[in-house]
Amino acid sequence: METKQSEIDITKLLNALKKQIGIIVFMGIFVMLISSVLAWLFIQPKYSSSIDILVNQKNNNTAVQYNIQQADLQAINTYKDVLTKPIILSAVLKDIKRTDNYQGNLRTLEKSIEIDNQTNSQVITVNVTDKNAYVAADIANTIGKVFAKKVKKMMQVDNVTIVSSAKVNTKPVSPNKKLYASIGLVTGLVLGIVIALIKELTDKTVKDSNFLTDDLGLTNIGSVYHLDINDNDYGVVKVIARNKISNDDDEFNVPQRRRV
């Protein structure tokens, strides 16, 4: 019985949503447009540039070179940590303030940097994000230059190679307009469903006799199927009523006339 009742409730719910599909679609499109406009007008775009740095030690002895390479791989995490420390970034900040009139501080600079490294690779990628595409490229290249100079003294590394310098990328990496539009669409659809359900559940209009018998538990004693008013009746309303007799379940039509 509970399963049957659940099926009935789900059917009613789906029918209610189907009747309010216009509101749901409208809210989805409306909120999607709003979120897209907000992302376009009020969120400042940011740009990203990256530089690839190879750090290794050279040795002509093949057997020794393998051990050195393994040691370099184990030291990658140390190199990644050093790249975001003040010993590197202080010199970088001083340089970009002079060349690019950078307005940020050491903390801001650190937050704009992301270090990446593939497994078992000696190449370290430094990604820099800034509101200015040219400044982002300058910061990345300056980090590579300062790191190559200082790491030799700090880590006793004799070979730092810039695999690829940072290039200016004028395509913004944020905000992600497609993501904002998708979030707006989903949010709007959910909001539309909520509004549709509230509207349907708070609607107490009697639409058919099932509402009286099934929802309110009342007894249906009759239905008015037709109401005919025309000039020939001279103010007389004809009502055709179908009544149900509880004793023998016979149904009959009783034409009635009532003068108004």
Is residue 163 predicted with pLDDT exceeding 50? yes
CA trace torsion 125, 73, 85, 46 (10° rounding) = 20
Nearest-5° Cα angle at 141, 138 to 142: 80
> Are the C-beta atoms of 56 and 121 separated by less than 8 Å?
no
12 closest CA partner among 208, 158, 247: 208
Instruction: Give the separation between CA 198 and CA 16, rounded to whole angstroms.
Output: 10
Residues sharing a CB contact under 8 Å with residue 64, sequence separation 6 or more, in sequence order: none
For the stretch 247-260, pLDDT in tens is 444 444 444 444 44
At 38, list the tokens: 């907000």
Percentage above 70 pLDDT, the chain: 67
Is residue 164 predicted with pLDDT exceeding 70? yes
39 closest CA partner among 199, 178, 155, 237: 178
Instruction: Give the separation between CA 218 and CA 207, rounded to whole angstroms.
Output: 15
pTM value is: 0.60
Average pLDDT for the chain: 77
Read off the pLDDT of each residue in 160-170 and give the average, rounded to a whole number. 89
Read off the pLDDT of each residue in 196-203 and give the average, rounded to a whole number. 79
pLDDT reported for residue 243 = 43
For the stretch 84-131, pLDDT in tens is 999 999 999 999 999 999 998 999 999 999 999 887 788 899 999 999
User: What amino acid occupies position 197?
Assistant: L
The confidence band for 238, taking pLDDT boundaries of 50, 70 and 90, is very low
How many residues are given for the chain?
Answer: 260
pLDDT reported for residue 176 = 81
pLDDT reported for residue 148 = 87
CA-CA-CA-CA torsion sign (125, 128, 134, 139): negative
Instruction: Give the separation between CA 72 and CA 55, rounded to whole angstroms.
Output: 7
E strand or H helix at 149, and its extent?
A: helix 133-155
At 202, list the tokens: 């708070």
More confident residue, 150 or 225: 150
> Are the C-beta atoms of 25 and 191 separated by less than 8 Å?
no
Residues sharing a CB contact under 8 Å with residue 226, sequence separation 6 or more, in sequence order: 238, 239, 240
Read off the pLDDT of each residue in 199-209 and give the average, rounded to a whole number. 69
pLDDT reported for residue 30 = 92
Structural domains of the chain ordered from first start? 2-42+176-201 (no CATH), 47-164 (3.30.70.1130), 217-259 (no CATH)
Beta bridge partners of 253: 242
More confident residue, 234 or 204: 204
The confidence band for 217, taking pLDDT boundaries of 50, 70 and 90, is low
| 244 SS3 class | strand
Residues sharing a CB contact under 8 Å with residue 24, sequence separation 6 or more, in sequence order: 17, 189, 192, 193, 195, 196
